[in-house]
Amino acid sequence: MNFQLHKAASLPDAIALSRRLAPDVRYIAGGTDLIIQLRRGVKSFGNLIDLSGLKSLRQIAETAEGYRIGALCTHKDIDLHSGLLRDYPALGQAARVVGGHQVRNAGTIGGNLANASPAADVAVALLGLDAVIVAAGEGGSRHIAIADFFTGPGQSLLAPGELIEAVLLPKPAPGESCCFLKAGRRKAMEIAVVSVALRLRLDNADAIADIRIALGAVGPRPLRALGTEAMLLGRKPDAALIAKAAVAIQADCTPRSDVRASAEYRRELVGGMLLRALQHCLKAETPHA
Ligand SMILES: Cc1cc2nc3c(=O)[nH]c(=O)nc-3n(C[C@H](O)[C@H](O)[C@H](O)COP(=O)(O)OP(=O)(O)OC[C@H]3O[C@@H](n4cnc5c(N)ncnc54)[C@H](O)[C@@H]3O)c2cc1C
């Protein structure tokens, strides 16, 4: 593991450093993932640009439209923010199950997204919440809808030299509920075998007016279950429909077998988890007057 560490003094400085040192360069935030990959020899870079001094990227700001979460906010920062936990319980539920205390104290939301792992917990929760990613590069900042962001395992729409500056979350609509569920092989320090993030809103007739289902570890990237969403939208979620959705969701997944679980097991598991998530959100839903 041989690299030179460059401390970025500002966002423009980080971007300029990245251009000067390209292509043998990578950004580093909490280092919980990158350092392990460098140690194992899975990756090798001559230069790392340390973003950790950019304090403006470690702020959570609430606006009339929603929240702006700086990319350097850690999983612990999210779990300590009462506004975020109130408005998006799914985000807190995801942040709370990332690794152990050390990983949650150092690992960042930007690192979790940039990793573009199909099993990244916070990334899956943010996909279910329709987050927008603010990416900064030489040409300035641009907004990327999270539904477009992940392009494959470890791959995203970030251009060379671009970094994640922040994540934007719209304010939840009245009556909206959400949750995140993760199945792993043990309680702590474990990457998801399957994860499900659900966001739901009913209309005045108790039919589903809006729904997002995001899935982790059942495809090459965090996925939206678009077929199941379409099947549920506009319909009353009674027991029969929920049972049908738990079967239909298998068609939205392309899981692979690996050391953690077989593809068949993942396919079975995802249906049961969607069922639990739907039951949870429907119970949390405020009854209509
Ligand atoms: C023991 C262990 C357990 C773990 N368990 C989980 C788990 O349960 N769930 C889970 O989701 N993850 C888990 N992880 C993975 C990882 O720790 C998290 O995804 C974490 O959020 C990564 O953030 P980081 O700041 O440490 O990223 P880093 O390691 O600093 O960087 C990771 C990648 O993201 C890039 N990057 C970082 N910040 C930015 C940015 N702002 N803009 C552009 N690129 C950037 C880096 O260049 C690098 O390629 C685990 C890791 C370990 C070591």
- CA 101 to ligand 1 center in whole angstroms: 14
DSSP string, the chain: ---EEEE-SSHHHHHHHHHHHTTSEEEESS-TTHHHHHHHTS---SEEEE-TT-GGGS-EEE-SSEEEEETT-BHHHHHT-HHHHHH-HHHHHHHTTSSSHHHHHH-BHHHHHHHT-TT-HHHHHHHHTT-EEEEEETTEEEEEEHHHHEEETTEESPPTT-EEEEEEEEPPPTT-EEEEEEE-SSSSS---SEEEEEEEEE-TTSSEEEEEEEEESSSSS-EE-HHHHHHHTTS---HHHHHHHHHHGGGG------SS--HHHHHHHHHHHHHHHHHHHHHHSPPP-
- Of 7, 11, 18, 32, best ligand 1 pocket probe by most atoms within 8 Å of the beta carbon: 32
168: Cβ below 6 Å to ligand 1?
no
**pLDDT tens string 77-128:** 999 999 999 999 999 999 999 999 999 999 999 999 999 999 999 999 999 9
Could you say which of 170, 201, 219 is where a domain stops?
A: 170
Q: Is the pLDDT of residue 289 over 70?
A: no
Number of domains in the chain: 3
Q: Are residues 165 and 219 in the same domain?
A: no
**pLDDT tens string 172-221:** 999 999 999 999 866 556 789 999 999 999 999 999 999 999 999 999 99
| Out of 42-46, 65-69, 94-98, 247-251, least confident range | 42-46
Q: Whose CA is nearest to atom 38 of ligand 1?
A: 111
pLDDT of 184 reads 81
**pLDDT tens string 255-282:** 999 988 999 999 999 999 999 999 999 9
pLDDT of 287 reads 40
Q: Are residues 109 and 138 in the same domain?
A: yes
Could you say which of 170, 195, 212 is where a domain stops?
A: 170
Q: Are residues 258 and 275 in the same domain?
A: yes
